[in-house]
C-alpha cells in the first residue's frame, strides 16, 4: 500500500474523544467577519486584559513578509515541516486541520489545553468554515461576527489597508468572500452580530459576551439589519463591475 500523502491524511483526520471533551471544558471565543471589520484591532485589545489565550495555528507553509517584516515562529504561526505535521496528525494532536494551496493549516490541541490550564478564554479569528467545525464539537463555542457600520465606511477602511491602487480581481474576490460570510451570518444561528463602529464600545460588548454569553438583543437585531443592508450593497457593487 502506498503511504498516504499529507493532503490525504488531513482529509481523513479525526480528533480524539479527549479533544472533544477538552473543547467542551474550555471557553472559546471566535472572531469572525469580513476583511476590514476590525478583527485584529479587537483581538489585540481583548488580549491586553490578560483574560484570553490567543490560539496560534500551525502551518507547513514558510514564513512570509508582512508589512515589510518576516513572520515569526510562535507569533503569527507555529511553522512546522511536513514530517512534523504528519507526526501530529498521527498523534491526533490537532483540533482541526485543513489543506490549502499545498500546505497544512491546523489548530493544535496544546493551544486549547494551555487556555484551559491557564483558566483563560481561548480566542482566535477564523473563517466561517472554522466556526462550523468548532460548533460541531460544542454548540456553546462563542462566535462574535463583526460588521462595519456601513458600506462606505467599510470601503474606506479597505482603501486605507490596501492603498489607492487595488487589483480589480482581488477586490472582486474580497467582495465575493464578504458576501458569502454575510450569507452565513444571516442563514445560521451560529453567530452573535456586533457592529464595530467604535472600537471601545465593541470591546465592551464583546467582552461582556465572552464573559457571560449575554448580549443586547436589540443591538444584535440592529446589527443583523445592518448586515442585510451591507449584503445588498455588495450585490449591487458586484453587478456594476
In this prediction, residue 169 carries a pLDDT of 83
Q: What percent of the chain has pLDDT over 70?
A: 96
Stretch (H or E) spanning 136: helix 128-137
What's the pLDDT at 41? 94
Cell of 120: 483563560
Give tens-digit pLDDT for 165-184. Answer: 567 788 888 899 999 999 99
Cβ–Cβ < 8 Å for 217, 138:
no
pLDDT at residue 166 in the model? 60
Q: Who's near 79: CB < 8 A, 6+ residues apart?
A: 58, 59, 60, 61, 62, 63, 71, 73
Contacts for 3-10: CB closer than 8 Å, 24+ residues apart: 6/60, 6/82, 6/85, 6/86, 6/89, 6/99, 6/104, 7/99, 9/86, 9/89, 9/90, 10/89, 10/97, 10/98, 10/99, 10/104, 10/106
pLDDT over threshold 60, residue 1: no
* Mean pLDDT on 11-27: 95
- Domain 21-240 CATH superfamily: P-loop containing nucleotide triphosphate hydrolases (3.40.50.300)
Residue 146 class from Cβ within 10 Å (0-12 exposed, 13-18 middle, 19+ buried)? buried
Taking residues 98-125, report their average pLDDT.
94
Q: Say how far apart CA 105 and CA 228 lie, in whole Å.
A: 31
Q: For residue 207, what are the contacts with CB-CB under 8 A and spacing of at least 6?
A: 46, 49
What's the pTM? 0.89
Where along the chain do its domains lie? 21-240
Confidence of residue 164 (pLDDT cuts 50, 70, 90): low
Q: What is the structure's pLDDT at 3?
A: 67
Amino acid at each position: 500500500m502506498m503511504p498516504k500523502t499529507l493532503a490525504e491524511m488531513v482529509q481523513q483526520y479525526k480528533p480524539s474523544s479527549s479533544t472533544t471533551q477538552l473543547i467542551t471544558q474550555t471557553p472559546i471565543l471566535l472572531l469572525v467577519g469580513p476583511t476590514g471589520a476590525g478583527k485584529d484591532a479587537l483581538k489585540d485589545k481583548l488580549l491586553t486584559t490578560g483574560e484570553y489565550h490567543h490560539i496560534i495555528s500551525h502551518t507547513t507553509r514558510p514564513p512570509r513578509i508582512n508589512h515589510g517584516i518576516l513572520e515569526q515562529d510562535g507569533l503569527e504561526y507555529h511553522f512546522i515541516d511536513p514530517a512534523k505535521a504528519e507526526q501530529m496528525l498521527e498523534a491526533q494532536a490537532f483540533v482541526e486541520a485543513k489543506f490549502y494551496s499545498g500546505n497544512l493549516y491546523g489548530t493544535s490541541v496544546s493551544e486549547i489545553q494551555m487556555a484551559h490550564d491557564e483558566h483563560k478564554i481561548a480566542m482566535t479569528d477564523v473563517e466561517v468554515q472554522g466556526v462550523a467545525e468548532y460548533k460541531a464539537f460544542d454548540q456553546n463555542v462563542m462566535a462574535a461576527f463583526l460588521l462595519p457600520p456601513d458600506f462606505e465606511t467599510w470601503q474606506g477602511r479597505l482603501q486605507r489597508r490596501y492603498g489607492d491602487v487595488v487589483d480589480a480581481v482581488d477586490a472582486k474576490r474580497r467582495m465575493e468572500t464578504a458576501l458569502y460570510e454575510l450569507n452565513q451570518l444571516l442563514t445560521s444561528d451560529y453567530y452573535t452580530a456586533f457592529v464595530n463602529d467604535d472600537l471601545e464600545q465593541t470591546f465592551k460588548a464583546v467582552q461582556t459576551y465572552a464573559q457571560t454569553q449575554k448580549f443586547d438583543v436589540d443591538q444584535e437585531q440592529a446589527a443583523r439589519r445592518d448586515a442585510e443592508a451591507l449584503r445588498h450593497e455588495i450585490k449591487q457593487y458586484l453587478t456594476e463591475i
